[in-house]
Chain A
Amino acid sequence: MEPQEIPEGLIQLAVLDDLLSLCRANSLWPLTFGLACCAIEMMATGASRFDIARFGAEVFRPSPRQADVLIVNGTISRKMAPSVVTLYDQIPEPKWVIAMGNCAISGGPFVFEGQYGIIEGIDKLIPVDVYIPGCPPRPEALIEGILTLEEKLTGKRRFPRVESGAQK
């Protein structure tokens, strides 16, 4: 997808923009929207054990007009794709998209010669801000994705980066 022009307000002040993005980054409102098994992981992320409320992104909104973040979690079938794009259209600016899981990134395990039912990656339809690989990604990975999005907004990382256990 080619680079997009992000709509801006009539007045732009550097300090105000910094303040606004800080506010937005610390209270992202995802859309309650599940496509496939990654949605189960998203629900787990919202529930008590992983508790995305610790990072300020727990207000899952049922209406796109109140949401900030579209978490595309799962396989995008051709039949579902118009709905995803509609929901993206209806989210007011500023809005961000997280492609969660291999299906949303590239089609995942459903990509093969001559397949006809799957969109191979949501970034073919709408611009994506953060990719979270995994099949499905663990809830910690989604939290890391939220933190990465915050980093993209504010330019600063709020929590120390957790090193991979495999490297130790």
Chain B
Amino acid sequence: MSISSDAAVDLLYIIALFLGGVVVVVSPIIISKLIAPRRTRQYDNRTEQIVECGVPPIGDAWMRYGAVYYLYALIFIAFAVDVLFLFPVAVVYNTQYRWQDLIELAVFVGILSLVLIYAWKKDVFTWNRRKFRKG
């Protein structure tokens, strides 16, 4: 299988442009590595310190915290998906397959309702102050 000369020329163009792009992207990185100073003067060995406001950091940034918003996001997604997919179903509902439509709808909504059960178990529907365990 051979490619025609037109296609070969096109391929050469693509390769040339690709190489040009690589050169344009990589060369500033290399040039700046070459001409930038190799290190910086320091008197307290704090150049690598993560916090940039002068004070020593307290603890680590890699800690666990309560991501409480996910429940609301989850419920929102459930209802959004519900609405989104029920509209097209409503358009064609009961036109061709009666029982199949009903059963498929029930399966779909049933699976989505599990989200509500999950949220219910997580006490979303009770009105009290939440306590989130750390860790």
Instruction: List residues of A whose CB falls within 8 A of some B CB.
Output: 4, 6-12, 16, 20, 63-65, 82-95, 125-127
Contact A93 B39 (CB under 8 A): yes
Q: Within the assembled complex, what's the spacing in Å between the Cα atoms of A65 and B40?
A: 11
Within the complex, the shortest CB–CB distance from B52 to chain A, in Å, comes to 5
Q: How many residues of B contact A (CB 8 A)?
A: 21
* 26 cross-chain CB contacts under 8 A: A6-B41, A7-B40, A8-B37, A8-B38, A9-B36, A10-B35, A11-B34, A16-B35, A64-B52, A82-B54, A83-B53, A83-B54, A85-B43, A85-B44, A85-B46, A86-B49, A86-B56, A89-B44, A89-B45, A92-B37, A93-B36, A93-B39, A93-B40, A93-B41, A95-B40, A127-B41
Indicate if B42 sits at the interface (CB-CB under 8 A): yes
Output the residue of B33, B46, B54 with the most chain A CB within 10 A: B54
* Minimal beta-carbon separation of B134 from chain A (angstroms): 30
**Known A82-B44, A89-B46: A94·B37 in contact at CB below 8 Å:** yes
Return chain A residues, CB-CB under 8 Å to B52.
63-65, 90
Q: Who on chain A is nearest to B39 by CB?
A: A7
Task: Decide yes or no whether B58 CB sits under 8 A from chain A.
Answer: no
Q: Is the CB of B43 within 8 A of A126?
A: yes
Measured between beta carbons, the chain A residues less than 8 angstroms from B47 are 89-90
Q: Could you tell me if B40 and A91 are in contact, using CB atoms closer than 8 angstroms? A: yes
Instruction: With CB as the reference atom, state the residue of chain A lying closest to B41.
Output: A4
Assuming the contacts A64-B52, A65-B52, A83-B54, asked whether A89 and B43 have C-beta atoms less than 8 A apart, the reply is yes
Instruction: Enumerate chain B interface residues (CB-CB to A < 8 A).
Output: 33-47, 49, 52-56
Q: Which of B34, B37, B49, B55 is in CB contact (< 8 Å) with A93?
A: B37
A residues in contact with B39, CB < 8 Å: 7, 93
How far apart are the CA atoms of A86 and B47 in the complex, in Å? 7
Question: Considering the chains assembled together, what is the distance between the CA atoms of A82 and B44 in angstroms?
Answer: 8
Chain A's nearest CB lies how many Å from the CB of B43? 5
Min CB distance B8 to A, Å, is: 40
Structural contact, B35 and A20, CB atoms closer than 8 A: yes
Instruction: Give the distance to chain A from B54, nearest Cβ to Cβ, in Å.
Output: 3
A93–B32 Cα gap in the complex (Å)? Answer: 13
A10 with B34, Cβ < 8 A, contacts A84-B54, A89-B40 known: yes
The one of B38, B42, B46, B53 that contacts A9, using a Cβ cutoff of 8 Å: B38
B44 touches A7 (CB 8 A): no
Residue with the highest number of chain B CB atoms closer than 10 Å, among A8, A16, A84, A89:
A89
Complexed CA–CA distance, A93 and B35 (Å): 11
Give which listed residue, A6, A16, A20, A86, contacts B44 with CB less than 8 A: A86
Contacts of B55 in A (CB 8 A): 83, 86
